[in-house]
Amino acid sequence: MMDLTLRTPHEVVKLLCERLRKERIAQNMTQAEVAARAGVGVNTVSNLESGKNVGFENVVSVAMTLGRMKDLEELFKPQFESLDDILHYEQNVNRQRIKKKS
């Protein structure tokens, strides 16, 4: 598991893009093959591997193609340390906006 606590967003993007490229190569797939299976353009895969902005849905499509959905499922998974955390989460799950702090 990578420790992202002391990294800048740019460094995290660079690291993840490199991992994506290595994963694609490890699966013996070309950018064109990944693009075709993910339903995106080759330029999208190239841009993703080079750290250029692409839509989040495209990131998900490529992750699915490479069999890495389990990793994405963990991305914003709620973290609970107590029963109170669970209750607080459940009570606020339908809330659309956060109240401004005064």
Phi, psi of 69 (to 5 degrees): -65, -35
Residue 71 has pLDDT above 60, yes or no: yes
Can you give the residue ranges of every domain in the chain?
A: 9-73
What pLDDT, on the 0 to 100 scale, is given for residue 1? 54
Higher pLDDT, 60 or 79: 60
Closest residue by Cα to residue 20 from 97, 90, 58: 58
Q: What sign has the CA pseudo-torsion 16, 22, 28, 31?
A: positive
Q: What is the pLDDT of residues 26-59, one digit of tens each?
A: 999 999 999 999 999 999 999 999 999 999 999 9
> Which option is the CATH number for 9-73: 1.10.260.40, 3.30.1490.100, 3.40.605.10, 3.40.50.2300?
1.10.260.40
What pLDDT, on the 0 to 100 scale, is given for residue 39? 97
CA distance 93 to 87: 10
Report pTM: 0.74
